Amino acid sequence: MSSEITSISDKENYFLVGPGPANCSPRVLTALSSYPILPPGYQIFKVISEVKQLLKYAFQTQNDATLAIQNSGTGGLEAAIINTVDPKEVIIVAVNGYWGERVAEIGRLREITVIEIVPKKPGVFTFEELEEAIKKHKPVLLFITHGESSTGLLQPLKGLGNICHKYNCLLAIDAVVTLGGCPLFVDDWSIDIAVSAPQKAARGLPGLSYLTFSPKAVKRIRAIKTKPPFYYNILKLCDVWKCFDQHSPYYYTFNSNLLYAAREGLLELLEETLSVSCDKHKKLAKRLWSGLEKLGFEFIVKKPEDRLWTVTPVYLPPNISWAKINEYLTTKYQLFVGCGLGSYENKIIRIGIMGYNARDELVQRVLDKLQEALLYCQK
């Protein structure tokens, strides 16, 4: 058995330009390779409290209940739902792709009554249709994906929280692929629950999920009758993160290296500022879209104003398979673009220019190599 852990031949020149994880900076990778530290203790609490402060900045929130937990973005979504909703209660899941479908499934597994809605016209949901559904079904929570990386939609959210609150409904969002790359103002937009993860525009690595809960959401967490499973108990984890007065030094063993890396990625974001980072993602996305259009690619999302800035899915040209294009790009250039998920499997490729990879030269590189790959695949 060889000790080689990846087949990447040139570690300086490989590019994760799919839906994530994205590459992270040398600074983040250095942080990852620090010595693990022992929980509980002063050192781990220091990094935890710094990550919490940085997350408040990234989410633009003053929510006390802001924390990271140890699992994937999906784990964060599951934690958010099962800590705030009891079985048999009604929630609406606004489904615009794979991630919405997943949350609906999480809800059903918890025996929550899940009402799935889809947009009346292809594209983002209008607030009118969302309000109509809330009026009709009286859910305790509306879940919507901010950035649907499976289809490339960027759902507007400003004003939606106030609509939900008129009906005593919480607003929960999936911001996994938008945090740090597209504007998101948790407090100003009255969002009750936001879930994200480090490995996209937040410049860290997979293995954590980031969560924030408004005071209304915390009230609900305290009130639900069916307690969450041990590992997903947000109130207990909030005690480790000292979100409220109580501080428990230990609940489970956090991977301190991941926390160090997360802190470094979030610090990079703070140093750059959210507004500069988001503007940069938007500018690069536009450049990418125009290049893809010139190459003849068709977008799932037709209106540029509805498109996500971090991940762009486009249809594969007729008779070109995902496998062939992917093989060409990875073996020849170590360029990793993403495949389609769910009903889009084998129909699209997904290009992510985000986080540390949000750089002009990478947009150009992706476009040049894609053009080459198309010629190769058409032969």
- Can you say which residues are annotated as belonging to the binding site for substrate? 350
The answer to the question of residue 310 lying near ligand GLV (CB under 6 A) is no
The helix/strand/coil state of 194 is strand
Give the C-alpha separation, 58 to 102, whole Å.
25
Cβ-based neighbours of 346, under 8 Å, separated by 6 or more: 316, 321, 322, 339, 340
Query: Within 38-67, which residues bind ligand GLV (CB under 6 A)?
Result: none
Q: Which is nearer to ligand GLV, 139 or 340 (CB)?
A: 340
In the complex, minimum distance from the CB of residue 301 to ligand GLV, in angstroms, rounded to a whole number: 14
In the complex, minimum distance from the CB of residue 338 to ligand GLV, in angstroms, rounded to a whole number: 6
Query: Within 170-189, which residues bind ligand GLV (CB under 6 A)?
Result: 176-177
The answer to the question of residue 19 lying near ligand GLV (CB under 6 A) is yes
Instruction: List the x/- string, 211-250, binding to ligand GLV by CB under 6 A.
Output: ----------------------------------------
Give the C-alpha separation, 139 to 166, whole Å.
12
| Closest C-alpha among 324, 332, 329, 372 to residue 351 | 329
CA distances from 194 to 187, 189, 227 (A): 11, 11, 20
Q: Which is nearer to ligand GLV, 102 or 220 (CB)?
A: 102
Q: Which helix (H) or strand (E) holds 15?
A: strand 15-16
| DSSP bridge partners of 65 | 213
CB 42 within 8 A of CB 368: no
| Closest C-alpha among 68, 62, 106, 101 to residue 84 | 106
In the complex, minimum distance from the CB of residue 202 to ligand GLV, in angstroms, rounded to a whole number: 12
Q: Which is nearer to ligand GLV, 161 or 338 (CB)?
A: 338
Query: Within 336-365, which residues bind ligand GLV (CB under 6 A)?
Result: 338, 341
CB 16 within 8 A of CB 23: yes
Give the C-alpha separation, 17 to 326, whole Å.
12
Q: Which is nearer to ligand GLV, 20 or 265 (CB)?
A: 20
Q: Which residue type occupies 42?
A: Y
Give the C-alpha separation, 347 to 345, whole Å.
5
The answer to the question of residue 149 lying near ligand GLV (CB under 6 A) is yes
The answer to the question of residue 198 lying near ligand GLV (CB under 6 A) is no
Q: Which is nearer to ligand GLV, 240 or 308 (CB)?
A: 308
In the complex, minimum distance from the CB of residue 271 to ligand GLV, in angstroms, rounded to a whole number: 25
In the complex, minimum distance from the CB of residue 227 to ligand GLV, in angstroms, rounded to a whole number: 29
Alpha helices in 18-153 (DSSP H): 26-32, 42-59, 73-84, 98-109, 127-137
Give the C-alpha separation, 25 to 5, whole Å.
20
| Closest C-alpha among 161, 32, 46 to residue 54 | 46
The answer to the question of residue 20 lying near ligand GLV (CB under 6 A) is yes
Which two three-digit tokens encode residue 247? 């501080």
Instruction: Show binding-site residues.
Output: 350
Q: How many CA atoms lie less than 13 Å away from 296 in the CB half-sphere?
A: 7
Q: Which is nearer to ligand GLV, 348 or 373 (CB)?
A: 348
The answer to the question of residue 145 lying near ligand GLV (CB under 6 A) is no
In the complex, minimum distance from the CB of residue 323 to ligand GLV, in angstroms, rounded to a whole number: 17
Q: Which is nearer to ligand GLV, 233 or 326 (CB)?
A: 326
In the complex, minimum distance from the CB of residue 150 to ligand GLV, in angstroms, rounded to a whole number: 6
Q: Which is nearer to ligand GLV, 84 or 199 (CB)?
A: 199
Among 150, 233, 277, 326, binds ligand GLV (CB under 6 A): 150
In the complex, minimum distance from the CB of residue 60 to ligand GLV, in angstroms, rounded to a whole number: 22
Q: Which residues of this protein are in contact with ligand GLV, per CB under 6 A?
A: 19-20, 149-150, 176-177, 338, 341
